[in-house]
Amino acid sequence: LGPIPLQIDYALTDHVSEAIELYLDDYGHQTSEESKEHVMKLVRTIITDLMPKVSSLLPEKMEDVSEVLAAGSARYSAPDSIRSLDWLQTNGYCIDNMKAGPSTIPDAGRGAFATRRIQEGALISGSPLLRFERDKLVTNSVFSEQLVLNYCFGHPQSTLLLFPYAPLVGLINHNSKSPNVEIRWSTKEENNEISIWTKRSYNRLVKASKVPLMIEYVAKREIQPGEEIFLDYGAEWEAAWKEHVQNWTPPADSKDYVMATTFAKLMEDQPIRTGGEQEEDPYPENLITACYYDYEESYEQYADAEDEEDHLPIFMQVWEETDLLFTCHHHLRPCLILSRGEEEDGETFYTAEMFNLPDTTHGTDLIPDTEHHVVTNIPRRAITFVELMYEGDQHLEGSFRHPIGFPDLIFPETWKNV
């Protein structure tokens, strides 16, 4: 989601703010305003390199940190998030008209269902839109574009993609024969800038830092409680899907594929095999073991240990459960289980070598490639299974990728650049 902060980013911002507050408590009385400004700039610079989303949530001035802590970074970053009842009645959207459930379409996964009777012409939901240029969604995989493409609106005469990210709207499935919902530009007074942007050029649109685009999902007919909500994705999408279904064949080894989450569930009560054991009894080829571990740069070298093959030093660390360990993506690292041992109370602990995530290229989370980093006393609950990069079923060769059709009648002519 690019620059959009997630829950973990707000939690980390709160932690950073607490550290700044401690600094102010200890040294604030003897620090000049100029020095405080310098320190805050330094903190933001360092944080920008490591966690750009967190940096965007921090205040510009050190004295404002107390306001962040008082309100919480999520509330502080959105000062207009608390609105009056009058404002909400005029500009707000009800987001409990839908609920998630298994789709009535075979093999479609989940769908969106009406929670109450919805009258014809009534608003079901509204959603803000993120803007992408299609070439930005090309992956390093030779097989496909990003999966998010399937959840974006697009137009055949434009390279612009619009991603709706309101709750549950991504679960509205396609039905060209009897759709019961359609989209339109927002009619709320708060979103009156939309009419301005729909007249501006494509280049100006994609280069703008902030564009308040909003669409509405409207009932085409009366919808009954529990009825699945469907949108017509357009003739081009349907033709592409039919062609995909007709021509696609599963890879030869597809019978051996297993999802990481499914396999982890199957294995949750089983001991994890060591690297040596996996040579004799391997796990599925698309999976690797991964450990929840909070890497720190400061550690002690274990005696004069040295790898016998590459002669790199081996650094040892004892596993600890730190704050946010099981919620931070960057704490779940690929790992190779070296040994397994059982304590007197029957609990099993592991020793494993830790590796970097594929997207870790710099910062304090990066284990130098000039060493081996080995961790002991890892509990079973801190070890799971993850997909190898681009080995998930969504990255299979020939996977379906196509944006949802944005209605031509309301797609601006000025945005057509193809």
Beta bridge partners of 98: 114
Mean pLDDT by 10 residues, the chain (418 residues): 71 88 82 83 82 84 87 86 85 91 93 97 94 80 74 96 95 97 89 86 88 94 97 97 91 80 92 95 93 77 68 88 84 95 84 86 74 93 90 77 95 95
What is the spatial distance between Cα 296 and Cα 63, in angstroms, rounded to a whole number? 30
Give the per-residue pLDDT at 38.
85
Give the per-residue pLDDT at 26.
83
Give the per-residue pLDDT at 80.
80
Sheet containing 181-185: order of strands: 173-174, 230-231, 181-185, 214-219, 123-133, 160-164, 153-154, 404-405
Give the strand pairing for 313-318 and 372-379: parallel
What is the spatial distance between Cα 234 and Cα 167, in angstroms, rounded to a whole number? 22
CB 98 within 8 Å of CB 112: yes
Give the per-residue pLDDT at 229.
98
Give the per-residue pLDDT at 37.
84
Give the per-residue pLDDT at 46.
83
Q: What is the dihedral of CA 72, 77, 78, 80, to 10 degrees?
A: 90
- Residue 272: CB atoms within 10 A of its CB come to 21
Residues in the chain: 418
What pTM was computed for the model? Answer: 0.70
